[in-house]
């Protein structure tokens, strides 16, 4: 090979090496840029990813963007598309109140655009003019570029940036990096919004739980009061006549307890030989016997809607206030017969321990003055609910005529019950404080 050919060959090799060196330099620059982008993305993500407050995320992101790209002016706002209002706003290096100026000069509305992807605009470009984004308020304050990003269907974000300190436009790689970083900001903001929603829901749930706890406490207190009242009602029911309880339950605020004329049947019950029995037995024994018999009698009285009005050591006065005149008489007689049968049964149970009791009863039916009666004294007042009048007086006198466990009825009661029970006339008798003789009938067994 000639010297000339060798020289030409060497020149070609040098050119090839220069070309390879240039490609290597370009690759190095591209790699350096990628490393810088990755490091910037990593640093910003690391700094912001743990933040849960949207305002804090916006502030930190803006500071890191300004530091990374060497700019002195910048802002981020969050706008509501529905209300056309800015709801969040952070800025650095901008003179005066930018937000107020934008609102005053009417430029704020121009910034509310429907965006579906992250978009970057140079405010002085033809593209910005076409989009209606040529905002003098921003340009006058040194803002040269804005990036739109959608948050959700309701909110959008706007990142505004001033010129770089070193001058020059944002080249393609920087715009690419800004778009990538803004996409990350979008993710952080959405996460923060979700966190805030969850936080508000938790607070709302906590408030509702507290309300529920308070309601449960109130309910428990109310149930306790109801329990106490029911317990009191149960114990009072042993002393308060059935008709009085019924009146109060129907109208607890204004019970009609006044005296009214009403048809009733009245039964008087008496233990024969009670005085002699008290002389022969101890008080405990007397109390046991009376409670034993009377406790059984009460069931029959209540089953027939009777009211125990007065009690004495040896007797009971029972009113049957059913408005149906036939029904109250039948109830009174049915109760008397049940008491007679119960007396025989208990006498058999206590045979050999105590002498058998003899229970005498008298019943009369008719109109009486039924209602509350007040007894005044120096120590206070006592109320009772009773039936007064001749119907009651005659029933008591008829009961006094009963002997050997008999059940005696007035003619009025006998006529009402008809042939539902077997009766026998025992003649007319003169009763104390009753002018005319009273015809009396006996219930046959």
Let me know: does 169 contact 30? Beta carbons within 8 Å.
Answer: no
Cα 119 to chain centroid, rounded? 51
Q: Report angle CA 263, 268, 270 to the nearest 5 degrees.
A: 175
Which DSSP string do the residues of 241-261 spell out, in sequence order?
-HHHHHHHHH-SSS---S-EE
pLDDT of res. 441: 95
Residue 193, C-beta contacts closer than 8 angstroms, at least 6 positions apart:
54, 151, 152, 155
Beta bridge partners of 442: 408, 424
Could you list the beta-strand ranges (E) of 257-304.
260-271
* DSSP letter, residue 111: G
Q: How confident is the model over 90-122, as pLDDT tens digits? A: 888 877 677 776 666 555 666 666 677 888 888
Residue 220, C-beta contacts closer than 8 angstroms, at least 6 positions apart:
none
Structure token pair of residue 221: 């207190």
pLDDT tens for each residue of the chain, 445 residues long: 566 677 777 777 777 777 766 666 665 555 555 555 556 555 666 666 667 788 888 888 888 888 888 888 889 888 888 887 888 888 888 776 777 766 665 556 666 666 778 888 887 776 766 666 556 777 777 888 888 888 888 888 888 888 888 877 777 777 787 787 788 777 777 777 777 777 787 888 888 888 888 888 888 888 887 776 666 555 445 555 555 555 555 555 544 555 788 999 999 998 888 878 878 888 888 888 888 888 888 889 989 989 887 666 678 899 999 989 999 999 999 999 999 999 999 999 988 888 888 999 999 999 998 877 665 666 555 566 778 889 999 999 999 999 999 999 999 999 999 999 999 999 998 888 888 899 999 998 7
Let me know: does 308 contact 245? Beta carbons within 8 Å.
Answer: no
Q: Report angle CA 427, 429, 431 to the nearest 5 degrees.
A: 155
Three-state SS at 158: strand
Q: Which domains does the chain have, with CATH numbers?
A: 49-197 (3.30.450.80), 257-443 (3.30.70.1230)
pLDDT of res. 417: 94
């Amino acid at each position: 090979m000639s010297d000339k050919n060798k020289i030409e060959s060497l020149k070609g090799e040098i050119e090839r090496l220069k070309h390879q060196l240039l490609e290597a330099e370009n690759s190095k620059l591209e790699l350096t840029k990628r490393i810088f982008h990755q490091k910037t993305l990593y640093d910003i993500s690391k700094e912001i990813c743990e933040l849960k407050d949207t305002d804090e995320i916006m502030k930190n992101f803006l500071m890191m963007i300004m530091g990374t790209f060497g700019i002195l002016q910048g802002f981020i706002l969050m706008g509501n598309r529905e209300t056309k209002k800015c709801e969040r706003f952070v800025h650095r290096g901008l003179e005066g109140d930018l937000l107020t100026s934008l609102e005053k000069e009417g430029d704020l509305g121009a910034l509310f655009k429907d965006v579906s992807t992250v978009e970057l605009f140079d405010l002085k470009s033809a593209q910005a003019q076409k989009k209606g984004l040529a905002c003098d308020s921003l340009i006058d304050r040194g803002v040269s570029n804005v990036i739109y990003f959608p948050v959700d269907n309701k909110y959008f974000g706007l990142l505004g940036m001033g010129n770089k300190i070193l001058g020059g436009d944002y080249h393609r790689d920087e715009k690419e990096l800004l778009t990538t970083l803004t996409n990350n900001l979008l993710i952080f903001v959405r996460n923060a919004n979700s966190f805030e929603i969850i936080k508000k829901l938790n607070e709302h749930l906590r408030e509702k739980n507290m309300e529920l706890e308070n309601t449960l406490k109130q309910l428990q207190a109310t149930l306790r009061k109801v329990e106490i009242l029911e317990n009191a009602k149960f114990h009072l029911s042993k002393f308060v006549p059935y008709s009085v309880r019924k009146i109060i339950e129907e109208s607890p605020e204004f019970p009609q307890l006044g005296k009214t004329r009403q048809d009733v049947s009245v039964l008087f019950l008496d233990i024969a030989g009670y005085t002699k029995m008290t002389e022969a037995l101890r008080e405990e024994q007397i109390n046991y016997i009376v409670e034993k018999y009377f406790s059984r009698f009460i069931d029959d009285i209540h089953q027939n809607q009777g009211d125990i009005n007065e009690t004495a050591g040896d007797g009971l006065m029972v009113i049957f206030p059913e408005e149906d005149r036939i029904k109250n008489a039948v109830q009174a007689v049915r109760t008397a017969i049940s008491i007679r049968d119960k007396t025989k049964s208990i006498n058999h149970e206590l045979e050999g321990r105590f002498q058998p009791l003899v229970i005498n009863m008298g019943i009369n039916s008719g109109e009486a003055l039924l209602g509350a009666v007040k007894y005044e004294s120096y120590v206070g007042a006592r109320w009772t609910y009773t039936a007064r009048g001749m119907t009651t007086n005659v029933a008591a006198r008829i009961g006094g005529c009963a002997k050997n466990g008999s059940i005696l009825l007035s003619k009025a009661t006998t006529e009402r019950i008809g042939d539902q029970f077997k009766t026998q006339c025992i003649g007319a008798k003169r009763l104390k404080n009753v002018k005319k003789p009273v015809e009396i009938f006996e219930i046959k067994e």
